[in-house]
Amino acid sequence: MIEVYLGDITRLQVDVIVNAANRHLAGGGGVDGAIHRAAGPRLGEACRRIGGCPVGEVRATPAFALSARRIYHTVGPVWRGGSLGEPELLACCYRDCLALARREGMRSIAFPAISCGVYGYPPGQAVEIAVEEIVRHQDRECPPQTAVFCCFDKEMAGLYRRQLGAYVRR
């Protein structure tokens, strides 16, 4: 099942909350800041111990004060025009998070719009990639059975709904 949720990702009741982090896992603004504030200072300590994460990869921590079981920190590409491998790197973020959730037996996972804030990825193109990766790699028989696209504004939610509708109509 794939859902679109409008609101703050830290409020979601899911097994995994995905964080749009930076390469240093140093915390920051946007969804990263919201997740660190809600999870509490032990999250920062756990991230410091991990040390960092390359673009397109994922690192997992406990969720501490959040109701989720895990936080998956993935680092999206900074948009530099699209010819520097950004689409493939963004696809890797979604694919690797889904693969890790499967290995860890997580039943539900919520994604923010990775790279669509400070990192400047054009939302329409990012949504196409996010939906393509989840539709293609999610398997009804295996966890995670539920994937949520969490949007902070109505325009983004509309983009996801349209893109998912395009798949349903195929």
Q: How many residues does the chain have?
A: 170
Rounded Cα gap, residues 63 and 40, in angstroms:
9
Residue 59 is classified by DSSP as E
Give the one residue of 3, 8, 57, 128 binding ligand AR6; rule: CB under 6 A: 8
Task: Assess 12 for contact with ligand AR6 (CB under 6 A).
Answer: no
List of residues 6+ apart from 149 with CB closer than 8 A: 2, 3, 4, 5, 110, 111, 113, 130, 131, 134, 160
Give the one residue of 116, 131, 148, 164 binding ligand AR6; rule: CB under 6 A: 116
CB of 123 to ligand AR6, least distance (A): 7
Active-site option among 15, 32, 139, 153: 32
Alpha-carbon torsion angle 54, 57, 61, 67, nearest 10: 130
Site for ligand AR6 in 32-91 (CB under 6 A): 32, 34, 76
Task: Assess 9 for contact with ligand AR6 (CB under 6 A).
Answer: yes
> Contact residues for ligand AR6 (CB under 6 A)?
8-10, 20-22, 28-32, 34, 76, 112-119, 150, 152, 156
Q: Catalytic residues, which ones?
A: 32
